[in-house]
Structures are given as C-alpha cells and as structure tokens.
Amino acid sequence: MNSHATHRPDRLAGSALGLPVAVPSTALFTDRYELTMLQAALHSGAAHRRSVFEVFTRRLPEGRRYGVVAGTGRVLDAVENFRFDDDVLSFMEREKVVDRETLQWLADFRFRGDILGYPEGEVYFPGSPILRVEGTFAEAVLLETVVLSILNHDSAIAAAASRMAVAAGGRPLIEMGARRAHELAAVAAARAAYVGGFSTTSDLAAGFRYNIPTVGTSAHAFTLLHDTERDAFTAQVQSMGADTTLLVDTYDVTTAVRTAVEVAGPKLGAVRIDSGDLLLLAHRVRQQLDDLGAHGTRIVVTSDLDEYAIASLAAAPVDAYGVGTSLVTGSGHPTCSMVYKLVARAGADDGADDGELVAVAKKSMGAKSSVGGRKWAARRLDADGVAEAEVLGTGEIPPELAGRQLLVELVRGGEVVGRESLDTARTRHIEARAGLPLSATQLSRGEPVIPTEFA
C-alpha cells in the first residue's frame, strides 16, 4: 500500500529456506492405509512393479469454468523431504503401523522415480493429468496424501484468486487471510494467491519463506488506543511518513478523511475503508479527497470481499482491494476434489524393468470411474490461437498436437529438475488464462470453458 509498509526480502525462496512445517519430515503427512498397502505389497512381491499414478479431478467445482494448478513447488519440496528418520520410525514401531521388515525398507526410502505435471500457474479441466508419478508401486503410493493435500488446497486458493484478479480488472489485490486459517495453511494460501494474481500479502511468514511482497499499516485497535483519532493519525504519520495508509472508518468516515489530510497533507498515501456501503463510501471519499487537494491519495477497501463484491465495485474509484476469508477458503470451494489413481503398471513378469505397461482403471457404477493408461495432454487451439479443447490420450501423440503438450518434467530419477520461481508461475497463469475463450472470465455459473476430449 505504500513504500514504508511494503517489504520484499532479498533472499531465496522455497526449499532453500527449509520446509515450513514443524515436524522433522513430510513422511507422516500420509494416511495409514498407504503404509499397510506397502507392507502387503512387499510381502506379495508386487511392491517393486513399475507403476504410474495420475492426479486429476473428475469435475470442476460447481459453476467454475477453469481450474488453476498451484502448489507444484511445494510438492517438490515435500518429495525432497519425504524421509523416515529415526523419530518417525520409532513412532511407527511403537504404534505398530507396519512390521519390522517394512520399517527396515522405509529407513532407506528415497523417492527415485519420475514426476511430470502441468507447470504451476497453468489452467486445467476435468480429467487433466495434472501430475504423473512414475516409479515402483512402493515409492509412488506413499506420496498420495501429501501430494493431494497440497494440490487440492493450493489449487482451490489459486482458482479463487484468479477469479478475484479478473474481477479487479488490474487493480492490486492484497492477501489478508492469515487470521482466518490454520497458521501453516495461511502461508500456503498466500503463496497460492500470489500465483493466482494477488500482488502482496499481510503474512510475514509467507514473505519470508516465498519472497512475496508484504504490506500492512494499522488496525482499528491503533486508533482506539489513542485519545483522539487525530492523535492516532499523527503518531502513524510521524512514524511511517505521509505515504502511509490511514484507516478512516473507526468513527465517522467524513471526519476521519478530513483529519487524515490535515495531519498528513495532500501527499497522504492512501485511506482504507473496512466497513459500510463500500460503493457509496468510495465515491464520497474520492470526492472529498479531491476537494481537499489530495488527488493522488489512493482508496483501499476491505471488509469480507469476494469476487462478486469486487466486481460490484468495478465502477467505483477504488485503487486496491484487501481480501481475507473468502480467499483462504477458496471462495466457497476449499478443495478441488483431485484424486491420485493408479493408471498403469508393469505386468506380472516385468517387475521394475522397462517392460510394457498394463493400463488399469477403477470401474464404478457411479461417477467415480477412471480412465486407464499413462496419458499425454495437449491443448488444441482454433484458427485465432484460442484454446478450444483439452485433448488427452495414450500412446503416440498426434503430430499436430506435439507442440502443444502440457506436461513438463519435474523430477527425474528422484532429483528435482523443474523448480522455478513464483513470479514465473504467476506470469504463466496470466498467459494461460488469456489463452482461453473470453467466457472463461465470466463470474456467472457455467460449464468448463473448453471440453475435455480423449484421442
């Protein structure tokens, strides 16, 4: 909101800072049944069969027209930190999670397979193979829960953020949801929101860990602390300079705006409105600021905003929006319902070698069936270069789609090869969204903006 309140740390992001969790590793971010499957598969001899798992969703949240891939970088961190150290193994032995032979196998566990996926910031649709994990059954099955927990959460936040960014029409968006979420989820949400189009966050942990610009000035408590509103404004301006943002709705907005300009002068950075009829107040405050000569003073609005409230303020003289609760809860859709399914495995005699893979799939009378086979994905464009279909298939990709493939290499032989900056993912999302039909940006309910086809 202003130069005095914004901080962008000059340091590395991601795994270079360590995984932002208060446990020794990510190995226990899993469901017990994955370990019991591992034990049984080790006993049967099938654990070492080469296997392919895919992450996808069967449908988008109701009314959504596209999804946004987010959390990929966190998945890579989680895979690197998926280690069964002595404390973890002792816990599992004490709780009798698995037998001693399985514990011995886990003691040396490192994921040594391959992971491909849609790059972070890309859009996706029903059936899109968002992530493909290849390795032995034993090593790939263990990653299911941690992968899904990251991608489901982060992609839901990024999708909400993308819709809000569209509604904001280029005006800056501030992520302010830390106090409305679990403390670690809040950090992940700020990261995902940045990918989806938010400019800054109020969460210092997110700024520290992911190099996201941070902002913040004062709350109503600061005004209430002082004997008068003028005293509060004077203290803030003397401390932070005239370019600060003053909160003007603690008492009477009109009086507060006049006092703010008297204290800070016409170079006051911004005023923030956090309650009331935001549309009406924004117009009144803009007129008042202009009448007082504060033509450059910006107006920031907060107060339980979502994409619909932001869109309703499109014609208002608002310069920035602060969003909290609706953002960190996915604006009504806190998960993407992604699943992690085995789609192919080696035959009985092929083990972990490079033998032919056998397609496998769940059959169901309901809507929970899946399509077998290791898939490629490509986005077909129309004559104007606009996306017209998400095309999936197995085997050889048609030559006309070869240059439009969506999956990229993320992990090769257990080594991360696809890590990239958040700014790269953020830019990619802007470009991917711009490549969709214009109706993708409508906030009205609708079907996925392009169909999914199987070649």
pLDDT at 25: 83
- The first and second tokens of residue 344, run together, are 């192919």
The domains found in the chain, sorted by start residue, are 23-155+333-454 (3.20.140.10), 182-332 (3.20.20.70)
Question: Mean pLDDT over residues 256-261, rounded?
Answer: 98
Distance CA 409, CA 380 (A): 21
> Which stretches does DSSP call E strand in 109-162?
114-117, 123-124, 131-136
At residue 347, the pLDDT reads 84
- Provide the pLDDT for residue 10: 40
Q: What is the pLDDT of residues 319-361, one digit of tens each?
A: 999 999 999 999 999 999 999 999 999 987 655 555 689 999 9
Q: Are 349 and 355 in contact (CB under 8 A)?
A: yes
> What is the predicted pLDDT for the residue at 365?
65
Q: What percent of the chain has pLDDT over 70?
A: 92
Structure tokens at 70: 């987010």
**What's the CA gap between 231 and 115, in Å, rounded?**
58
pLDDT score for 56: 98
Candidate from 100-114, 132-146, 295-309, 354-368 with smallest mean pLDDT: 354-368
Tell me what the mean pLDDT of segment 391-404 comes to.
Answer: 95
Q: In this predicted structure, what is the pLDDT of residue 362?
A: 82
Which residues are within 8 A (CB) of 310 and not within 5 positions of it... i.e. 6 or more apart? 164, 167, 168, 321, 323
Residues 43-91: tens digit of each pLDDT: 999 999 999 999 999 999 998 999 999 999 999 999 999 999 999 999 9
CB 71 within 8 A of CB 154: yes
Give the end-to-end CA distance of the chain in Å, rounded to a whole number.
49
Which residues are within 8 A (CB) of 250 and not within 5 positions of it... i.e. 6 or more apart? Answer: 220, 223, 224, 229, 256
User: What crossing angle do the helices spanning 422-434 and 183-196 adopt, rounded to 10°?
Assistant: 50
Q: How many CB atoms lie within 10 A of CB 100?
A: 8
Q: Does residue 419 have a pLDDT over 90? A: yes
Mean pLDDT, the chain, rounded, equals: 93
Q: Where are the beta strands (DSSP E) in 197-354?
A: 200-201, 245-247, 270-273, 298-301, 320-323, 338-346
The model carries a pTM of: 0.92
pLDDT digits (tens, 9 = 90+) for 152-208: 999 999 999 999 999 999 999 999 999 999 999 999 999 999 999 999 999 999 999
Phi, psi (5° rounding) for residue 244? -70, 175
**pLDDT given for residue 75 in this prediction:** 97
Residue 429 pLDDT grade (very low, low, confident, very high; cuts 50, 70, 90): very high
More confident position, 19 or 416: 416
Query: In this model, does residue 105 exceed pLDDT 80?
Result: yes
pLDDT at 445: 85
What pLDDT was estimated at residue 133? 98
